Amino acid sequence: MNLDLFNDLVNKVKESDFMQNFMEELSNYLENSNNTERGKIELNNKENKLDVNRIEDGLYQVVDFSSKGVFLQNTNNNKVFEETNLPKELMDKIGNDYILRYKDGNYSIEEELTDDFMNSLVGIQEYQKIKENFEKETNILEIDSNTRFNVQSREKDYTILSYGKDNTINVPNVLIPYFAKENTSLYYKNGKFENAI
């Protein structure tokens, strides 16, 4: 008998407007808080991804502009990412191939490096001529394309690369990636030196 009374009471509570309203509000609250948490997680993931790309005191080259900002290339590992948090004043001053430094949470233009990089550029015809002369004067095309070359030193007009046991080769700087430092590994494929990452 007591069990019947309990079941009647439970059924009446289920049918009451109060309980239905309470359940709906609880359900809405849980759904909204779940969406808010999901949004925070997505924002955190986006910021963490950018933090991985931004290295303190790192150098970045502007490779293109996007509707939200710029595409930057890390000069150490050649990874390209979209940077959307540049101040408007900086965006108005930069162009393709500008070199930026990320330090203390901000980007700044490396004017001397940018000027030096721009001055190192040569026209397509001049580049082609230098490349053809280099290939004729050296045995670079006879060396296996999987060979890794290591930058030994950079001089004013050429870079000394070592490969194999005790082999070296002098390469015009125009043919070497601009940001290649000593001990950088390169390979020569399809008529150009590239970072071996």
What per-residue confidence (pLDDT) applies to 19?
A: 59
Phi, psi of 161, rounded to the nearest 5 degrees: -110, 140
SS3 of residue 74 by DSSP: strand
Q: Which residues have a Cβ under 8 Å from the Cβ of 27 and sit 6 or more positions away? A: none
Task: Considering only residues 49 and 163, tell me which one the structure prediction assigns the higher pLDDT.
Answer: 163
Spatial distance between the Cα atoms of 46 and 53, rounded to a whole number of angstroms? 11
What per-residue confidence (pLDDT) applies to 30?
A: 66
Range of the domain at 78: 55-118
| Mean per-residue pLDDT, 129-139 | 92
Spatial distance between the Cα atoms of 188 and 148, rounded to a whole number of angstroms? 8
25 with 85, same domain: the answer is no
| Mean per-residue pLDDT, 98-127 | 91
What per-residue confidence (pLDDT) applies to 37?
A: 54
101 with 138, same domain: the answer is no
Residue 3 has pLDDT above 90, yes or no: no
pLDDT-above-70 percentage for the chain: 74
What per-residue confidence (pLDDT) applies to 76?
A: 84
Q: What is the pLDDT of residues 151-181, one digit of tens each?
A: 999 998 999 999 988 999 999 999 998 888 8
Residue 26 has pLDDT above 80, yes or no: no
Residue 63 has pLDDT above 80, yes or no: yes
Number of domains in the chain: 3
- Alpha-carbon torsion (8, 10, 13, 14), positive or negative: negative
Binned at pLDDT 50, 70 and 90, residue 130 comes out as: very high
136 with 180, same domain: the answer is yes
145 with 161, same domain: the answer is yes
Domain final position from 52, 73, 94 = 52
Residue 12 has pLDDT above 80, yes or no: no
Residue 1 has pLDDT above 60, yes or no: no
148 with 92, same domain: the answer is no
140 with 159, same domain: the answer is yes
Q: What is the mean pLDDT of the chain?
A: 82
36 with 75, same domain: the answer is no
pTM beyond 0.75, yes or no: no
